[in-house]
Amino acid sequence: MKMAWKEMMKYKMRYIILGSIIFLISLLTLSISGLANGLSQDNAALIKNMPEGTFYMEESAEESYNFSSLSDSQINEVKNIDDNATFFSIQMGEFNDSEEQKHSLAYVSASDDQHFPAVEQGEIILDQSFAEEGLAEGDTIGNELTDEDLTVAGFVEQEKFSHSPVGFISSDDYSSMYDTDTFQLAFSTESDAAVDELSAFSNDEFLNTIPSYSAEQLSLNMIIAFLYVISGMLFAIFFYMINVQKLGTFGILKAVGVKTITLFKMMWAQMFIITVISLLLASGISELFNIFAPSGMPFHLTLDMILYSSAAFIAIGFVGATLSGIQIKKVEPMQAINQGGA
């Protein structure tokens, strides 16, 4: 470590350049990771907030919840395997506030309050984002689907679906608005048994049935993966070029008895120091942005994501630096000395 630090102090500029590049790549990676997670929450927080379980959808709906409609017999079959199963429906819609301003939202109605808020007939519970827009408890809202106004009974944190805030209403109001008394989906935390004419999905599988969710996340995750690959290549190229310049020095060190593993440890120490400093700076800036980002921006960066990304960068840097150090093992002392030290 001491030898590695001395060399870094001697050639500050080359290591500052590498550190700056790693800092920028790690900052970009953390930013895109936060954006991907934020968009995921904005697209499907309603589902992600639910516990692990099994979703049931009508098989003929072909994995589109909009076309699913559970019959009485199918509902009874689900109840036979789990008497505590929850049945619910989701419909995209809108409402008008007291100033006749239109707002889009996803109406959600459920058979019980096991996984969703309890709502009385004539009331609605809205996502907290509507409170930030000026709505308050006791306000009334209307829509074109019914002549009856709904009273805002409260707000819930982070309940979104398909990039729209959620509004929870009673089954009676849902039936009146959409002229149906059945449910689209069933959810069970106690059983994953097959049910005739129903398709079963895990939480992750059901998320991929939401329009745009899979394509959105796949695109962002591919960008993140490429950034990891690029960072590994940068480490390999940078240390390869430095090692080529220091072949003479390595030869002299080997001639006086320094082991190859010691030279590798010096290179690993330099990689670790550069990466850790870069990651600390990138993580700090990303966390500040996470705290002060506008409330409407879908950005959500967690500590777990920061730790995971940091571990990935360190592992990739270790692999890249190690691959670049193959010539250290191959160098012959006398041949390197004849070429001159660095």
Question: Does the pLDDT at position 229 exceed 90?
Answer: no
Is residue 337 very low, low, confident or very high in pLDDT (cuts 50, 70, 90)? low
Question: Does the pLDDT at position 321 exceed 90?
Answer: no
CA 140, CA 109: separation in Å to the nearest integer? 18
From 229-238, 286-295, 322-331, the region with the lowest mean pLDDT: 322-331
Does residue 182 contact residue 71 with C-beta atoms inside 8 Å? Answer: yes
From 4-8, 68-72, 80-84, the region with the lowest mean pLDDT: 4-8
Mean pLDDT of 27-33: 90
By the 10 Å C-beta count (0-12 exposed, 13-18 middle, 19+ buried), 46 is classed as buried
From 78-92, 146-160, 250-264, the region with the lowest mean pLDDT: 250-264
- pLDDT for 179-197, tens place per residue? 888 899 999 998 888 888 9
Residue 175 is which amino acid? S
Helix (H) or strand (E) holding 123: strand 123-127
Task: Locate 321 and state its tokens.
Answer: 């630096």
Mean pLDDT of 165-171: 94
Most confident stretch, 17-21, 65-69, 192-196, 232-236: 65-69
Question: Does the pLDDT at position 340 exceed 60?
Answer: no
How many Å is the Cα radius of gyration of the chain?
29
- Note the pTM of the prediction, 2 decimals: 0.78
Question: Does the pLDDT at position 271 exceed 80?
Answer: yes
Mean pLDDT of all residues belonging to the chain = 86
Percent of the chain with pLDDT over 70: 96
Q: Which of 29, 60, 30, 51 is nearest to 223 (CA)?
A: 29
By the 10 Å C-beta count (0-12 exposed, 13-18 middle, 19+ buried), 204 is classed as exposed
Q: Note the residue count of the chain.
A: 342
Strand 185-188 and strand 123-127: pairing?
unpaired
b/e sequence 92-109, b meaning 16+ C-beta within 10 Å: ebebebeeeeebebbbbb
Mean pLDDT of 208-218: 84
Is residue 334 very low, low, confident or very high in pLDDT (cuts 50, 70, 90)? low
- pLDDT for 99-123, tens place per residue? 888 889 999 999 988 899 999 999 9
Mean pLDDT of 1-30: 83
Is residue 341 very low, low, confident or very high in pLDDT (cuts 50, 70, 90)? very low
- pLDDT for 126-150, tens place per residue? 999 898 888 899 999 988 888 888 9
Question: Does the pLDDT at position 69 exceed 50?
Answer: yes
Question: Does the pLDDT at position 292 exceed 50?
Answer: yes
Mean pLDDT of 6-21: 82
Question: Does the pLDDT at position 342 exceed 50?
Answer: no
Question: Does the pLDDT at position 46 exceed 90?
Answer: yes
